[in-house]
Structure 1
Amino acid sequence: MFLAICALLFIASAAATVLICQAMADMGEVPMVGGWAMSSAWTPLCGGSWPAAAGTFLGMWVLMTLAMMLPSLAPALWRLHERAAAAGDTHPGLVAAWAGIGYFLVWTALGLMVFAGGAALVEAALRWPQLARAMPFAAGLLVIAAGLFQVSRWKLARLGHCRQVSWRGAGAVAVIGQGLRLGLACCASCAGLTVLLLVGGVMDLRTMAVVAAAITAERLAPCGERVACATGGLMLGAGAVQLTLALWQL
């Protein structure tokens, strides 16, 4: 039952994410000074309001993170399920569900901060052409910084915390707290890959697939730390290429 529910959630969220991304692609992008394009996800639709735009983005973000994080989260929730059952809890499945809710609450809060920061940056780029022209250069620097973070000891330590779950007693509050702690650890560990997702296009299916595969591999593979370092090396190379192209255009 646990595996069936996780599979259904993954399929539903992945399908919804694909449909949303296709709809956003059909809406097109706004060309900006500097040779890059702005996704319509960061601004209100014609006649819309900022709260509506934030709500739409947050809905897309939740579905996206559910599809991207569930493959690596499910084993951790299953271990929590087993420990709750071994401790005599009569509803171990509910324990896993509460922990999952706490986990995705953290990612939802991050989505709100991402939208606020992205919308402010886009508004500034629309007002100041020089800032818009420098965005590709800044994107290259961000990818390089994300690659350095990906190979850092701090990142590898956070990766270890993402795999740790412990039974801290019954009660929805305690279990949600466990999910919140796990979510915070995973958000910190995924900081570099999240930057890569935002730079590559938050609604770009190819970038999503690459980031999701990297997150899953570094958490589930026996040599996850090596996977993280290899991913960081690729990000450093991609950032260097992006930086070179941006300098050439300047």
Structure 2
Amino acid sequence: MVSRRELVRLLAAGGVGAAAAVAAPKVRALFGPDRLPLDGGYAPAGNELGWHRGAVRVLWHVTTDKPLIALTFDDGPEPDWTPRVLDALDALDAKATFFVVGERLERNAALVRGRYARHEVGNHTWAHKDLAQRDEKRVRDQLRRCHDAIAEHVGRPPTLLRPPWGHLGGSTLTVAEEFGYDVVMWSQRMRENLFVKDPGGIVADTAEQARPGAVILAHDVGPEDRLVCIANLKGIVTGLRDRGFELVTVSELLAAGQPATTA
């Protein structure tokens, strides 16, 4: 904390701006999103609605000797992007897991109606909010609204959660446990920014990085540099298959091995 004497000295030396600049980090430590869970808010000891499984699986990859990998897409669905991804996967009879944003699914339900049938669909919050900065009530609202949208528009409820940006807090874990979710991170990502003008490069790079049990992060929404992945998705899938990999959903990958860790 900033002592009263220190605050007076700072005000005298540099005015309110200097005092605020020094005090701000300490104020954030007490009241900001990175504060310690002194009241149980962001790292609560248990779920106030009751006990459920008592544990949450959090996985980055799955330990398996089988040549299986899970290709995942975040942030959709949106026009232009998502149909191109689905078209490429359909053409190759390939599976993927889509972590959808609820409000986008609600807005674009007609765009994807029936098109997720071969794929898995997971919860990526209602409005792509940082769950690590939210208490249980607000996390629950984000997950419930997305959960219900998926159940309505996809026809089956989700069993997986991917928190936006991979940010985790205790409130996320307790609410995920309440919903019966497994929390899915990733062990590999599409490095679009390195291959914006090198389509062959992203095909080779994705295949070379892949390992059995990998969870690969891609996006079906975003800035233009990600289009190198979308435009070359058929080549990426073919490259992975040429190395002997089979594309499965995250749940199928889980069933084939052991998750890398449990929270």
Normalising by structure 2, what TM-score?
Answer: 0.25
Higher-Rg structure is: 2
- Larger RCO (alpha carbons 8 Å, 6+ apart): 2
Normalising by structure 1, what TM-score?
Answer: 0.25
Higher helix share: 1
Higher strand share: 2
